[in-house]
Structure formats: C-alpha cells, structure tokens
Structure 1
C-alpha cells in the first residue's frame, strides 16, 4: 500500500532539488518550503490529509495567519472533503486541477525526436535537463528531472506553441527518463496540470491522487 505522505514528501524533496531551493521544514502534519517565487514566498505541503483530516484544518489556519504570501498544497484521494476543510479555514482553492502521478522509469517509452529536431541532455549535479531544438536553432521543448535517491521528479516540462503536436513532449519525457535511469532512478514522480495529464497517462504514468492548491483570497 502506498503511503501518500511518503510519496508527496519524496516528490517535494525532488522538486526542491529541481528548483534549487532548500528542503522543507517539518510542521504540524506537513512540511514548509521557502520557495521565494513571484506571488508565492512560502508553500506548505500537507502530508497526512487522508490519514489525519484534522491536520489539513491546522495547516489551513497556519497559512491563513501567515504574514507572507503562502500557499497550501494538499495531496488527497478525498478532494471534496479536503476542499470543504480548506474553505472553512478561510482559504480559496485555485481553479487548477492537478494530479500526483508516478511511473516505473525502466519501462518508460523513449521515442526519439523526428527530424529536423534534435535533443540535448545536460547534467548539473542531481538535475538532468533536456532541450530540444529545431534544425533552425529555435527552441522547441525543454524540461528537467531531479534525481533524489531512487526517485526522479519531473519539473518545468514545456513545448513551445509553434512546435506542439509533433511528438516532442513524448520525446522530451523519454530522454529525461533514460537519463534518470542511468543515474540510478527507478520511480518517476510529477504533479501534472490539466493540460499535461493526457500526455503523461499515454506514457504510462499513473494517477496516485488529486492535488489541491489554495491561498488566502
């Protein structure tokens, strides 16, 4: 049985590596990360939303009382109950449905980009970056994975609008998966936006839980 708190903590550690920010600090039922991003100075991740529902209320109160711009991110298999708790705590969920997903990297498809596209892999410490350029030199797609122990966390996966629907996202994810496996990773983790869910599902990624994000109105 997958422990959701463990899975989201593993994702969070890899995400911090990918973003090159310090690891989180444990708080009551969660972990707090100082991310210092525009419109989001701090993010609190709930770790026990399903096992201990009251912890979501406590974390919501913590976020509502914060004197800096703080987000609350909750991974759960009971999104309706969690949303009600978040709203009762004075926070407003973002209209941005997301999923926590995982995959066995060893079996991940690895299609190559079709000409005139070419992929380049770069490694900087635990972070693998793949960039795909058009033959003209124009940037077509890019993304990164941070290897954290046996996990690899995908982040900032993007295909430029002029180059979409050409299989580049699949090629990008395949190149990242291959590079991560070479560095000892076995499990891929990511949080998928609504736009990315179909792509990742088609590549074998499994939906583990819903992800709700909230902040003060």
Structure 2
C-alpha cells in the first residue's frame, strides 16, 4: 500500500512544536489516529495532524468528525500521497479546504547548497538551545528575510521562512536556508524536514529538497 510513514510526520511535528515553543503534541483519536497541538493563534487555536490517513481512511474520518464538532477553532492537517481521497473524506465531514498546495519535504543537510547574502545585506544568526533564528538585515537595519530551524536529534525542522516583499528576488531565501542548514549540521542534524507553502516549493526544490507527500489542510467553514 502506498502511504506516507507516520514516523516521518511525527518527526516533523516534534521539531515544529520546538521551533514555535509550543507544548508537545498529544495523541488524539482511536489507536493512534493523530496528534493534537495547542497552537494558541487567532483563527488557529488547535491543529490536529492525521497519522494514518492513507493506510486507514476510517481514522481520517474520525478525526474530521471531531474537528467538525470542536468548540475551538481547529485545523485538520493531513500529509498524504492520496490527496483526492483525503479531500473527499474531509468534504463529507462538512469541512472545507483551507490550504491544498503544500508539500512535506526532506533533504540531506550535509549536501545543502551554500549561498551567502549579497551586499548590502548582513547575516545575523542567533541560537538558543535547539532553535536557531537567521535574520538578514538591510542597509537600514530592517529585517529583510528570516527563518527558524529546530534541531531534534538528527533532524532539523525549518519553519517560518519569510522574505519581506520589498526585498524579494534577491536570493535572500536561499541565503537564509543556507545559514540554517549550516547551523543545523553544526548542531548534529543531518536530515532536514519542512512543510512548504505553494510560494516556497520552488525555492526548496531548487536547493535539493524532495517532496515526500502532499499536505491537505481543512477546517470548519467560516460561517459555521
């Protein structure tokens, strides 16, 4: 059976919660259906991550029903190799797609391309425990681009890779990723993991990151 391994999802989620200083995700559903994370964000109070959507569609249906009935604003995030089937299940539960074009991606960080920011941008790297934040500052000291990476064991999870609109198309995203990868390898990581937005997929693919699965994100309709 074609499926995304639940352990890969767990590894990504473990690092993502560390990167965002969130509590450790807790099991939810029946027999390992998924994990629940308290996000504490406006419009995203809770996020539920499906672990067995491809191998057991019934587990996804249970999670979707629970999200539809939740009192808090809850997202359902589903890494999958069968996005069409996932969309049908969440639609049947009364949820609507919030995001569809995201990818779960991995890479070997020891082979990550190196890119330095061009002048006049300067790189700032701050590491606090397992979390490294890289900022690229412009000539007036403004943050032109930034990103975060959390090292958990041999994995490093990249998060919130952003370039200010006024500074795009100058290779800053590549420079941020390069600095994050370098710091992660120095911290003992080898494998990089991230969930890429539609806008970020081209950048990561150009740097050698590989798509492992689609990521479908759904929630209750706004009017419900």
- Normalising by structure 2, report the TM-score: 0.94
Structure 1 residue 80, shift from structure 2 partner: 0.2
Partner of 2:182: 178
Query: Does the aligned pair in 2 maintain the 1:44–1:70 contact within 8 Å?
Result: yes
Matched, 1:121 2:122: no
Compared CA separation, residues 52 and 129, structure 1 to 2 (3 A): same
Partner of 1:42: 46
Deviation per residue, 1:167-201 (Å, 9 max, x gap):
11001000000000000111101100000000000
Q: Where has structure 1 moved over 6 Å in runs of 4 or more?
A: none
Partner of 2:25: 24
Equivalent of 2:90 in 69, 86, 91: 86
Compared CA separation, residues 206 and 106, structure 1 to 2 (3 A): same
Structure 1 residue 3, shift from structure 2 partner: 5.0
Partner of 1:197: 201
Query: Does the aligned pair in 1 maintain the 2:3–2:80 contact within 8 Å?
Result: no
Alignment of 1:1-217 (within 5 A): 4-28=5-29, 29-217=33-221
- The total of aligned residue pairs comes to 217
Structure 1, unmatched stretches of 5+, are none
Deviation per residue, 1:42-95 (Å, 9 max, x gap):
110000111111111000011111111111000000000010001001111114
Query: 130-139 or 6-15, which moves further after superposition?
Result: 130-139
What RMSD over aligned residues (CA atoms) do the two structures have, in Å? 1.3
**What SS is found at the alignment partner of 2:89?**
helix
- Normalising by structure 1, report the TM-score: 0.97
1:107 & 1:24 partners in 2: Cα distance? 30
**What SS is found at the alignment partner of 1:94?**
strand
1:138 & 1:67 partners in 2: Cα distance? 40
Structure 1 residue 138, shift from structure 2 partner: 2.2
